[in-house]
Chain A
Amino acid sequence: MKTIHILLILLIPLAFLTSCQEDEFTESSALGLWKQVSVTEDGVEITLAPEQENYKMLIDANGIVRYYHQAFMNYSNGDGPTSFYGTWSMLDGQWINFTTDKWKFNPTLSSDSSKVTLKTKQYVIGNDTIIGIDTLNSVKSQWSKYHIQSRFTILQLTDNVMEIRLKTFVGEKKYAFLFAPDPTDFIELKGVASGAVNYSPKLVTDDNNWIIRKEFQTLKTYVFKFEKEDY
């Protein structure tokens, strides 16, 4: 009887310790090179632009993740940036966090006409001087860049497949590098200093202001699927 008690005493903590491990994903399974194979929005597969299709993510054990995409590759006469980085962590074996670059949408509207305020500058064409939109300074005041962390629910994480889900606003997904941005949502910033970031979300005008604003108010569920690649 005493032996049974001792056995029970030893087995109960063991049962407690191992009871949840089946449902948990391990950090080591996330390490490696992953290629994005599909993205769904509220269950409907998104058609990816060619620049988004070759999206890859290299997850390192030191908590750093490096991203590759071609959305800005054609900038700087074909020498645009293709490699980006952030951090990653796993929480309770159920969620995976990634930090990415993100742009905050903050255009100003004129108080009298509620039109988007744009900065202007003089352009000299031949003998004429005209006043036009100063795109570089306008987008710099309309969007501010920072870094955010997004928490994904892990749906599947095996040696070959990683499937993660995120519920977020359409605008957050579009302008937060989650993951490869659509080239049509961004523009090249010409005339920036050497080495400075030469890409930004597109210019906000009266035509697209409310469309983008609505995107930041519309919640959708995204599922990203990746396959592991050898290197």
Chain B
Amino acid sequence: MVFLEGRGFSLPFFKFLSIKIIVIRTLYSFLKKIIQQLNLSSMKITSIKIAHKSIVLACASLLFIFIGNACEEDTSTNDKQTQLVGTWHQTSRTIDGVATTKDSTRLAMQINANSICILCDSSYKAISSKSIITRSSWSFSGSLLNISVDLPASWNATVSDNELSLERVDFNSNGTLAKTILEFERITNIEIE
């Protein structure tokens, strides 16, 4: 069952299971032929047919169990994804636990349900250069929030109704990892054109 861990219910697994069912069916046909050749009673053939039906039923039951388990994880991911949608205002930034100036590239961030997010930089520099808006796509899987303008780095997101915490690590020039944490609070949705 380790095969299924962390993967949900994947296409390769369906293929894997199908192969097993085919193997069992082939074995059944092979046994049936042997019994027919040995001229055994039809009683035994009927027993094998019943066994075959039971195998199919057993596999089907297992299939439903796996599908049931696999869907739980997706639901949790979808819940978080839904919570992420909205407009967020940055309240703090820390690097390796030390409070530092806010990340001006996203003083406000609007995450839309259509997989587009809008990053707002309302600093004087951005306003004077008329570049306050950056549009990007986003996706969420597991606990990782991928914002395309930030890739290859992704954010480990912790979200509740009103608070959002984004954490990422990056290599320093000396090879150590620096941990950046951005804290946001939910604000009323703003309309950005």
Contact = CB atoms under 8 A, between A and B. Distances in A.
A205 B146 CA distance: 44
A21 B2 contact: yes
A24 B7 CA distance: 14
B154 A28 contact: no
Contact of B152 (A21, A26, A64): A64
Q: How large is the interface on B (under 10, 10 to 19, 20 to 34, 35 or more residues)?
A: 20 to 34
B97 interface: no
Interface in A35-65: 54, 56, 58, 60-62, 64
Contact of B175 (A12, A54, A60, A85): A54
A81 to B, nearest CB: 9
Given A12-B55, A61-B144, A83-B171, A231 B20 contact: no
A13 interface: yes
A205 B161 CA distance: 64
Given A9-B51, A27-B6, A231-B177, A66 B171 contact: yes
Contacts of A10: 58
A33 B23 contact: no
A85 B152 contact: yes
Contacts of B153: 66
A104 to B, nearest CB: 23
Contact of A60 (B5, B58, B144, B171): B144
Given A13-B59, A60-B144, A64-B154, A26 B175 contact: no
- Of the listed residues A10, A14, A17, A85, the one surrounded by the most CB atoms of chain B closer than 10 A to its CB is A17
A68 B20 contact: no
Interface string A131-174: 00000000000000000000000000000000000000000000
B142 interface: yes
B6 A62 contact: no
Interface in A5-29: 5-6, 9-10, 12-14, 16-18, 21, 24, 26-28
Nearest to A69: B175
A17 B175 contact: no
B173 interface: yes
B171 A13 contact: no
Contact of B142 (A14, A61, A82): A61
13 contacts: A9-B51, A21-B3, A24-B2, A27-B7, A56-B175, A58-B177, A60-B144, A61-B141, A62-B142, A64-B151, A64-B154, A66-B153, A73-B173
